[in-house]
Amino acid sequence: MTTAALLDEFEANRPRLLSIARRLLGSASDAEDAVQDAWMRLTGNDATAIDNLGAWLTTVVSRLCLDRLRSRKRRGEEALEPFEETVVSTTDLPDAARDLADAIGDAMAQVIDRLHPAERVAFILHDMFDVPFETIGTILGHSPASARQLASRARRRVQSGPLAAPDHEARAAAVSAFLRASREGDLPGLIALLAPDVRFDFDDVAARLGSEQGLHGAEAVAHFFSGRARTAELAMVDGDPGIIIAPAGTVALALRVTFSGNRIVAIEAIADPDFIAEMAIRSLP
């Protein structure tokens, strides 16, 4: 294939690649850079060995965006541009995803910006671009089941909608009270802190460690935690008060705690060491 022919095929894919990169990164300029980097990768490969150029480019652009998101998270940065000011066309999106994409404005972008990079990639690729979980798993270096779980967790957080700025001090006090009630086996105290429809979910690694999955409802979650949390600690987990278990100073389990008002509506147990390594975790006194 000549360079001119390869460029023509690349340009035919460019609008979709820009749309993917724009929604993953929340920045038109960063998206342009990622797509240009993908072109450089393509010209450095044997294009005749690529069976499906569109799928190959989607994978490369998504991985480049994932790397940028991880780097941004390590530096504590956010998207450089307001999401709604440089919105790209949605005509290339699947019909089922178009309303979701069109609904994303600056406030909702703040919710998406709080997602873990892997959650963000899994959610956007699957829900907006109909990329199968097998492909997403390859992009993330996870199994398809793990990719599905990441997208599901992200979807729940996004569907909860943009919230007012959280009162971290009050929420840290509530998580501390939750830990205290757990250690003391104070079932009524636990139930009082939980929303009636609270969910407790686990990643695959936590499930293999013997945890139950899919607990739902205040009583079920309270019974699970009653008498536990002996070695758990209060911590900031991805910017919000949460819980960690860190024997010998190494985090083995992180619990992300989600509030609605003054009650806990979701707890997510994360034990995947690769995932934990990318989380922002800081112990609290």
Structure tokens at 25: 């990164």
How many domains is the chain built from? 2
Q: Are residues 138 and 193 in the same domain?
A: no
Picking from 126, 159, 192, the residue at the C-terminal end of a domain is 159
Looking up residue 33, the CATH number of its domain turns out to be 1.20.140.160
* Band (60; pLDDT cuts 50, 70, 90): very high
Residue 82 has pLDDT above 50, yes or no: no
User: What's the mean pLDDT in 264-275?
Assistant: 90
Q: Are residues 143 and 89 in the same domain?
A: yes
Q: Are residues 107 and 10 in the same domain?
A: yes
- Tens of pLDDT, residues 16-30: 999 999 999 988 999
User: What's the mean pLDDT in 53-57?
Assistant: 94
Q: Parallel, antiparallel, or unpaired: how do β-strands 240-245 and 253-260 relate?
A: antiparallel
Q: Parallel, antiparallel, or unpaired: how do β-strands 263-270 and 253-260 relate?
A: antiparallel
Strand arrangement of the beta sheet that strand 194-202 belongs to: 215-216, 194-202, 263-270, 253-260, 240-245, 232-237, 281-283
Q: Are residues 137 and 219 in the same domain?
A: no
Q: What is the pLDDT of residue 80?
A: 43
Residue 119 has pLDDT above 60, yes or no: yes
Residue 233 has pLDDT above 50, yes or no: yes
Question: Residue 123 belongs to what domain range?
Answer: 3-159
Residue 249 has pLDDT above 70, yes or no: yes
Q: Are residues 231 and 252 in the same domain?
A: yes
* Band (48; pLDDT cuts 50, 70, 90): confident
**99 CB burial (10 A radius; 0-12, 13-18, 19+):** exposed
Residue 97 has pLDDT above 80, yes or no: no
Which comes out higher in pLDDT, residue 45 or 214? 45
Cα–Cα separations (whole angstroms), residue 228 to 171, 183, 190, 232: 20, 5, 12, 9
Q: Are residues 255 and 176 in the same domain?
A: yes
Q: Are residues 99 and 117 in the same domain?
A: yes
Q: Are residues 110 and 212 in the same domain?
A: no
* Band (108; pLDDT cuts 50, 70, 90): low
Residue 177's contacts (CB-CB under 8 Å, 6 or more residues apart) are: 189, 193
Q: Can you give the three-state secondary structure of 11-66, one letter per residue? A: HHHHHHHHHHHHHHHCCHHHHHHHHHHHHHHHHCCCHHHCCCHHHHHHHHHHHHHH
Residue 48's contacts (CB-CB under 8 Å, 6 or more residues apart) are: 1
Cα 21 versus chain centre, distance: 16
Cross-strand bridge partners of residue 283: 235
Q: What is the pLDDT of residue 89?
A: 47
> Between vectors from CA 250 to CA 172 and to CA 156, what angle results, nearest 5°?
50
Q: Any idea which of 47-51, 197-201, 248-252 has the lowest mean pLDDT?
A: 47-51
Which comes out higher in pLDDT, residue 285 or 126? 126
CA dihedral 202, 73, 111, 154 (to 10 degrees): -30
Structure tokens at 50: 């690529």
Q: What is the pLDDT of residue 86?
A: 39
Q: What is the pLDDT of residue 77?
A: 56
User: What's the mean pLDDT in 115-129?
Assistant: 92
Q: Are residues 139 and 187 in the same domain?
A: no
Picking from 105, 131, 159, the residue at the C-terminal end of a domain is 159
Q: What is the pLDDT of residue 76?
A: 63
Q: Are residues 23 and 72 in the same domain?
A: yes
Picking from 159, 186, 219, the residue at the C-terminal end of a domain is 159
Taking the C-alpha atoms of residue 208 and residue 211, their distance in angstroms, rounded to an integer, is 7
Q: Are residues 66 and 100 in the same domain?
A: yes
Q: Any idea which of 65-74, 91-100, 119-128, 238-247 has the lowest mean pLDDT?
A: 91-100
Structure tokens at 183: 């250690």
SS3 call for 226:
coil
Percent of the chain with pLDDT over 90: 54
Q: What is the mean pLDDT of the chain?
A: 85
Taking the C-alpha atoms of residue 89 and residue 102, their distance in angstroms, rounded to an integer, is 9
Q: Are residues 204 and 225 in the same domain?
A: yes
- Tens of pLDDT, residues 146-172: 899 899 888 887 876 655 556 888 999
Cβ–Cβ under 8 Å, residues 256 and 243 = no
Looking up residue 260, the CATH number of its domain turns out to be 3.10.450.50
Q: Parallel, antiparallel, or unpaired: how do β-strands 263-270 and 215-216 relate?
A: unpaired
Q: What is the pLDDT of residue 168?
A: 84
